[in-house]
Homo-oligomer: A and B are copies of this chain.
């Protein structure tokens, strides 16, 4: 079994997509994460769902959980509103991380190792003609346990 046997179409967002729209896509389509593509349609970043949240959480709350606690309930409920028109580009982490991107030949072991190492429940599959889609953790685990 190879990545080509497990790949499926996957929605993408662009670097200039508003973060709030990205969060909405994640929620509405029940996605494990998002593929951010550049102008050429190639993966610029792969964001696991937890890291889409990270785009929206103020930095001081990420650094120190005690500071998140002092924000009262009403303000906490409204934290997404602060995003206004912030785009995915503005919210991406400065230091680039290893991207969970592979080619259609990757084996299930490579896919599993890549997901485990990058903490990403999706891997983008790219070949010479561009982005082919993604393999999700769920698709991979389903096939692994049904053998």
Contacts and interface: CB of A to CB of B under 8 A. Distances in A.
A112 B56 contact: yes
Taken together, the copies of this chain in the complex come to 2
Interface string A64-102: 010011011101111110000000000000000000000
B50 A116 contact: yes
A62 B117 contact: yes
A8 B65 CA distance: 23
A121 to B, nearest CB: 6
A65 B147 CA distance: 24
Chain A residues touching B, majority SS: helix
A24 interface: yes
Bin the interface of chain A by size. Answer: 35 or more
A26 interface: yes
Contact of A69 (B24, B76, B110): B110
A113 B61 contact: yes
A65 B24 contact: no
Contacts of A107: 68-69, 71-73, 76-77
Interface of A: 1-2, 20, 23-24, 26-28, 30, 32, 48-54, 56-57, 61-62, 65, 68-69, 71-73, 75-80, 106-110, 112-121, 137-138, 140-142, 144-147
5 contacts: A20-B145, A24-B145, A49-B121, A49-B141, A57-B113
